Structure 1
Amino acid sequence: MDNLIGAVVLTLGKGQLNKASRFVIAYDLLSAKKPETRQRRFAKYLTMLANEEKPK
Protein backbone atom coordinates (compact mmCIF):
# COMPACT_ATOMS: atom_id res chain seq x y z
CA MET A 1 0.00 0.00 0.00
CA ASP A 2 2.83 2.40 0.83
CA ASN A 3 4.40 1.96 -2.59
CA LEU A 4 1.06 2.54 -4.28
CA ILE A 5 0.47 5.83 -2.48
CA GLY A 6 3.95 7.06 -3.30
CA ALA A 7 3.68 5.99 -6.92
CA VAL A 8 0.35 7.78 -7.38
CA VAL A 9 1.59 11.07 -5.97
CA LEU A 10 4.88 10.94 -7.84
CA THR A 11 3.13 10.09 -11.11
CA LEU A 12 0.60 12.88 -10.70
CA GLY A 13 3.29 15.43 -9.99
CA LYS A 14 5.77 14.18 -12.59
CA GLY A 15 5.17 17.04 -15.01
CA GLN A 16 5.02 19.86 -12.48
CA LEU A 17 7.48 18.84 -9.76
CA ASN A 18 11.25 18.70 -9.80
CA LYS A 19 13.23 15.82 -8.34
CA ALA A 20 13.66 17.48 -4.93
CA SER A 21 9.93 18.13 -4.56
CA ARG A 22 9.09 14.55 -5.49
CA PHE A 23 11.60 13.34 -2.90
CA VAL A 24 9.99 15.51 -0.20
CA ILE A 25 6.59 13.99 -0.95
CA ALA A 26 7.87 10.42 -1.11
CA TYR A 27 9.85 10.76 2.12
CA ASP A 28 6.96 12.40 3.94
CA LEU A 29 4.54 9.65 2.94
CA LEU A 30 6.87 6.74 3.56
CA SER A 31 8.11 8.03 6.90
CA ALA A 32 4.61 8.19 8.42
CA LYS A 33 4.20 5.41 10.95
CA LYS A 34 0.43 5.53 11.38
CA PRO A 35 -1.97 4.94 8.48
CA GLU A 36 -4.01 7.97 9.58
CA THR A 37 -0.98 10.22 9.27
CA ARG A 38 -0.17 8.80 5.86
CA GLN A 39 -3.73 9.39 4.65
CA ARG A 40 -3.74 12.97 5.95
CA ARG A 41 -0.44 13.73 4.21
CA PHE A 42 -1.61 12.03 1.01
CA ALA A 43 -4.73 14.20 0.94
CA LYS A 44 -2.60 17.30 1.59
CA TYR A 45 -0.28 16.54 -1.32
CA LEU A 46 -3.13 15.71 -3.69
CA THR A 47 -4.70 19.07 -2.89
CA MET A 48 -1.39 20.81 -3.43
CA LEU A 49 -0.91 19.09 -6.79
CA ALA A 50 -4.45 19.96 -7.87
CA ASN A 51 -3.73 23.62 -7.02
CA GLU A 52 -0.35 23.41 -8.80
CA GLU A 53 1.53 24.25 -5.59
CA LYS A 54 4.89 22.84 -4.58
CA PRO A 55 5.47 21.01 -1.28
CA LYS A 56 6.82 23.02 1.61
Structure 2
Amino acid sequence: MLGWALTFLVVALIAGALGFTGIAGTSAGIAKILFFIFLVLFVVSLIARAVRGG
Protein backbone atom coordinates (compact mmCIF):
# COMPACT_ATOMS: atom_id res chain seq x y z
CA MET A 1 0.00 0.00 0.00
CA LEU A 2 2.86 2.35 0.78
CA GLY A 3 4.28 1.57 -2.66
CA TRP A 4 1.07 2.71 -4.33
CA ALA A 5 1.07 5.92 -2.30
CA LEU A 6 4.64 6.65 -3.39
CA THR A 7 3.75 5.88 -7.01
CA PHE A 8 0.86 8.33 -6.99
CA LEU A 9 3.09 10.90 -5.28
CA VAL A 10 5.67 10.60 -8.07
CA VAL A 11 2.93 10.87 -10.71
CA ALA A 12 1.63 14.00 -8.98
CA LEU A 13 5.08 15.57 -8.88
CA ILE A 14 5.77 14.85 -12.55
CA ALA A 15 2.32 16.05 -13.63
CA GLY A 16 2.71 19.20 -11.56
CA ALA A 17 6.12 19.91 -13.09
CA LEU A 18 4.67 19.50 -16.58
CA GLY A 19 1.71 21.76 -15.85
CA PHE A 20 -1.08 19.18 -15.65
CA THR A 21 -2.61 20.60 -12.49
CA GLY A 22 -5.81 18.52 -12.59
CA ILE A 23 -3.95 15.24 -12.81
CA ALA A 24 -1.42 16.41 -10.22
CA GLY A 25 -4.15 17.34 -7.74
CA THR A 26 -5.98 14.09 -8.21
CA SER A 27 -2.82 12.01 -7.87
CA ALA A 28 -1.78 13.91 -4.75
CA GLY A 29 -5.21 13.33 -3.22
CA ILE A 30 -5.07 9.62 -3.94
CA ALA A 31 -1.54 9.43 -2.51
CA LYS A 32 -2.72 11.15 0.69
CA ILE A 33 -5.66 8.78 1.10
CA LEU A 34 -3.52 5.69 0.53
CA PHE A 35 -0.85 6.96 2.92
CA PHE A 36 -3.37 7.53 5.71
CA ILE A 37 -4.92 4.09 5.13
CA PHE A 38 -1.42 2.62 5.37
CA LEU A 39 -0.80 4.47 8.64
CA VAL A 40 -4.08 3.28 10.16
CA LEU A 41 -3.40 -0.33 9.19
CA PHE A 42 0.15 -0.07 10.52
CA VAL A 43 -1.02 1.24 13.89
CA VAL A 44 -3.72 -1.43 14.13
CA SER A 45 -1.10 -4.06 13.34
CA LEU A 46 1.22 -2.74 16.05
CA ILE A 47 -1.58 -2.71 18.62
CA ALA A 48 -2.69 -6.23 17.69
CA ARG A 49 0.86 -7.49 17.97
CA ALA A 50 1.32 -5.85 21.38
CA VAL A 51 -1.95 -7.30 22.70
CA ARG A 52 -1.04 -10.80 21.53
CA GLY A 53 2.40 -10.51 23.07
CA GLY A 54 4.29 -11.37 19.89
TM class, shorter-chain normalised? 0.3 to 0.5
- Higher helix fraction: Structure 1 or Structure 2? 2
Structure-1-length-normalised TM-score: 0.44
Which structure would you say has the larger Rg?
2
